[in-house]
Amino acid sequence: MVQRLNEPVSVTLFFNHQNHSVFPKTIIWHNHSYPITKLGLHHSYRLGSTLYHIFSVVSRSYFFRLKLDTSTLHWTLEELSDGLPT
């Protein structure tokens, strides 16, 4: 089931200086830690003067859609899915 959310989360991030890649490693949400096992799509968009990065990631059997606001450096969990039909 897909849930649309708009909740703040903590994210640990990995930056590779050799190829300039950035990706989330762990999500902390509701006092639970979710290690990211797969990075899906990443894209960015601009709304006004703010640039947002969207990351689609998998942890265990959950799919997360994360948004990074580059003006505040705050992370938001936008969507969560357990892969089961609604």
Q: Report pTM.
A: 0.90
Question: What is the per-residue pLDDT for 30?
Answer: 96
- For 18, 68, 71, the CA distances from 38, given in Å and listed in that order, are 20, 18, 26
The answer as to whether 33 is a domain residue is: yes
Q: How many domains does the chain have?
A: 1
The answer as to whether 12 is a domain residue is: yes
- Gap between the Cα atoms of 51 and 55, Å rounded: 13
The answer as to whether 50 is a domain residue is: yes
The answer as to whether 86 is a domain residue is: no
Residue 72, CB-side half-sphere exposure with 13 Å CA sphere: 7
The answer as to whether 55 is a domain residue is: yes
The answer as to whether 68 is a domain residue is: yes
Q: Give the phi and the psi of residue 84 in degrees, each rounded to 5.
A: -90, 150
Q: What is the C-alpha R_g of the chain?
A: 13
Question: What is the per-residue pLDDT for 85?
Answer: 75
Positions of the chain with pLDDT lower than 50, given as ranges: none
Question: What is the per-residue pLDDT for 84?
Answer: 79
The answer as to whether 35 is a domain residue is: yes
Range of the domain at 51: 2-81
Question: What is the per-residue pLDDT for 56?
Answer: 97
